[in-house]
Structure 1
Amino acid sequence: MTIKNFQIEYDAINSRNIFTNGDTINGRIILEISKEIRIQSLVFIAKGKARVHFSEHYGLLGKLNPEVEENYRYKQKYYRVKQYILRESRQNGNTIGSGRHVFPFSFTIPDRKLPSSFSSIFGQIIHTLKAKLKQSMMLPRKAKTYFTFVSKAEMNLPGIRVSNILLDISTRQMGYKSGEDLHVTARITNLSNRSVKPKFVLDKKKTYNGGDYIKVDKRDILQDKADSVKSWGGTVTVTKVFNIPKELPPSILVCPIIKLEYRLKVYLDITYAPNLVLKLPIVILPELSDESRLSPSSGSRYEVFESSCEPAWITEPQAIDPPPTYEAAALYPLFPSSDYTSAL
């Protein structure tokens, strides 16, 4: 094979290897050949584009029907910059001797509104550096690499500052009997230019699995609010106490077709921004007839698996310490993106 190696690479400008609007990317195209060749042209191309691609299945009453499928695809281009490293020659071509050749390039990212790099199974936003080599009577050779672009366009919106809201919530335990008090503590750090208002909710979720169709019924049981935490208000700790209603039925977690779950949710109502929500599963214990019923204080243990956040019983009494505080936390970066991320 005459061409032993053909690749494109670039230099990082920071430890995270990310670029933003107006940055200059310096790199090189590397060509290694075993003998002298003639090429028509060598071109550098930089591109930024977005694309979505997914399919939907339709059938009677929305049920899955493999026979009816709709495919959706769409592309959006943001920039395309082309530079000739070796100009195209239609006569004798460009003669390149054997060995390793390095062709430098320099490219400045357009200083205008561009979306940040993104990737999921349904769509991507990609920024690409590409090299294209043409030879007479042969298919073009291509080499490409991707770079990570983080847009600063969204950060220039009015009223937006780079800031954070931190929320930690914890309870004394995870399992409760009807009539017991549920203590929840929220630790809120507001380092933003927006006020936030905490809201506490205990809700009930019923799930019915009918095979092809799943029905979910959600209802709030208890709710309460706390005073707002003002902008740049530092760290505030809020504690609320809920009395578990005596008429609540116990949790159902082991039936594959019917589930009854309880969840403690803490909202942060953020001015002019999506709410931040954290959720903790709460187990309502059954009322047993004798005094040896299982409870966190009598030696049973509750475990939460991170992959599902569902409690698992270990029914054999064990001589262990009382369960630790059950808690969750979320960091809410107030970058003005259309996809705000909350935890759990």
Structure 2
Amino acid sequence: MTVKHLFVEHSKVNERGTFSPGDTLSGQVIVVTTKETKVQCFFVRAKGKAKVTWCEKDGQSTVVHTDKKKYFYFEHIILQDKNKGDGSEIIGPGRNVFPFTFSIPNKDMPSSYKGKWGSVTYSLRAQLTQSIWLIHKTKTEFPFLTKSEFPFASKSEMMIIGLKEQQQATRISFLGFGKVTMNVTTEKMGLKQDEALGVSVEITNESAQTVTPKFYLCEKQTFVAKSKKIVHKNDILFGTGDPVPPETIQFTTRVLSIPPQLPPTFLNCSMMNLEYRIKVTLDVPLGRDPEIKLPLVILLGSPKPHQQKPKRSIWFRNLPG
């Protein structure tokens, strides 16, 4: 084994260390050898792709649903022997550095993402072939962010208009011989990763039971493979409000901080998308819990110091409760 190490690295273009459409991706492939090494082929590739895969039971058999889409694919030949396999190219002993540069296409592409049954990945791969039996490979992924401030594809106009608008919904539920009215309000639909959202709940309990509000962030991942679709949902419990006794009106406000590692909403990928909702439920003993869901769009936040607390909405500071 004359090749001791093979790895590929890239340079940063911003403080995030991310790349976007139109950026130049530069780096180097490094090979460490113990002596002169004959090479048949040596190349580096840059690739952006989306892929979904999941399995379903169909009677006694298992059906695999899969699909993929390529956003770009570039290859740079570092060394290639001229006689198709005689190993005429030589790499000297020691540490060898081979630079490369790729131009990322300036078109709409989704950000890097890993979900339950699919992912969007952008990667660099180097391969050095000494012979048909001796091939060295290395691969690294680089983080990619869409240029679109609102990556919502065909839904953009509808969603952008409502990002700054107040969201409100009411539900009336009948429990036994009484009813409970729940009114939920959020300041707006759009929220950055470095912000927090206030949710106000007004509960009029005219039933004979005590009810307790609970606050959730609902995540919905949708994956599509050709004509098939599958959905993965996940509810994150943010907190629980105070119990509301019978014949009581209670107003509660909770500030929900969005986890900074939570991926932003995106709908600009034909094979997968990610959406969110704010859900408020009323915990009813021995009964079905009434619930209200309001749309929430999580937008990409700006880089902030790790210790900085999420911004709180001024609008909700003035509410009672």
**1:28 CA drift (Å):** 0.5
Measure the CA separation in 2 of the matches of 1:35 and 1:69. 50
Out of 187, 192, 204, the residue aligned to residue 243 of structure 1 is: 204
SS of the counterpart of 1:149?
coil
Q: Conserved in 1, the CA contact under 8 Å of 2:125 and 2:139? A: yes
**1:158 CA drift (Å):** 9.3
**In structure 2, what residue type is equivalent to 1:243?**
T
Matches within 5 A, 1:144-159: 144-153=139-148, 155=150
Measure the CA separation in 2 of the matches of 1:56 and 1:119. 20
Match of 1:107 in 2: 102
User: Are 2:277 and 1:327 equivalent residues in the alignment?
Assistant: no
SS of the counterpart of 2:206?
coil
**1:155 CA drift (Å):** 3.7
**1:139 CA drift (Å):** 3.2
Match of 2:117 in 1: 122
- Identity between Structure 1 and Structure 2 (%): 26
Measure the CA separation in 2 of the matches of 1:227 and 1:119. 29
Measure the CA separation in 2 of the matches of 1:18 and 1:11. 10
SS of the counterpart of 1:340?
strand
Matches within 5 A, 1:135-214: 135-153=130-148, 155=150, 194-201=164-171
| TM-score where L is the length of structure 2 | 0.58
Deviations 1:25-45 (A, max 9, x none): 111100011011110221111
Q: Conserved in 2, the CA contact under 8 Å of 1:195 and 1:230? A: yes
Measure the CA separation in 1 of the matches of 2:239 and 2:142. 38
Distance 1:202 1:85, change over 3 A: farther
Greater gyration radius: 1
Distance 1:264 1:144, change over 3 A: closer
Q: How many residues align?
A: 236
Measure the CA separation in 2 of the matches of 1:204 and 1:281. 22
Measure the CA separation in 2 of the matches of 1:279 and 1:153. 29
RMSD: 4.5
**1:237 CA drift (Å):** 8.8
Unmatched tracts of structure 2, length 5 or more: 191-196, 218-235, 247-251, 268-272, 280-321
Measure the CA separation in 2 of the matches of 1:285 and 1:195. 29
**In structure 1, what residue type is equivalent to 2:74?**
V
User: Are 2:290 and 1:340 equivalent residues in the alignment?
Assistant: no
**1:263 CA drift (Å):** 3.5
**In structure 2, what residue type is equivalent to 1:222?**
T
User: Are 2:40 and 1:45 equivalent residues in the alignment?
Assistant: no
Q: Conserved in 2, the CA contact under 8 Å of 1:160 and 1:336? A: no
Match of 2:88 in 1: 93
**In structure 1, what residue type is equivalent to 2:16?**
R
Deviations 1:39-68 (A, max 9, x none): 022111111111111122356xxxxxxx44
Q: Conserved in 2, the CA contact under 8 Å of 1:280 and 1:328? A: no
Unmatched tracts of structure 1, length 5 or more: 60-66, 165-190, 206-219, 252-261, 268-276, 288-324
**In structure 2, what residue type is equivalent to 1:109?**
I
**In structure 1, what residue type is equivalent to 2:205?**
I
Match of 1:8 in 2: 8
Matches within 5 A, 1:254-333: 262-263=212-213, 281=240, 327-330=254-257
**In structure 1, what residue type is equivalent to 2:168?**
P
Distance 1:197 1:6, change over 3 A: closer
User: Are 2:12 and 1:19 equivalent residues in the alignment?
Assistant: no
SS of the counterpart of 1:19?
coil
| TM-score where L is the length of structure 1 | 0.55
Q: Conserved in 2, the CA contact under 8 Å of 1:154 and 1:336? A: no
SS of the counterpart of 1:72?
strand
**In structure 2, what residue type is equivalent to 1:69?**
T
**1:192 CA drift (Å):** 7.5
Measure the CA separation in 2 of the matches of 1:243 and 1:47. 56
**In structure 1, what residue type is equivalent to 2:167?**
K
Q: Conserved in 2, the CA contact under 8 Å of 1:114 and 1:151? A: yes
SS of the counterpart of 1:79?
strand
**1:333 CA drift (Å):** 10
Measure the CA separation in 2 of the matches of 1:336 and 1:240. 28
Q: Conserved in 2, the CA contact under 8 Å of 1:201 and 1:264? A: no
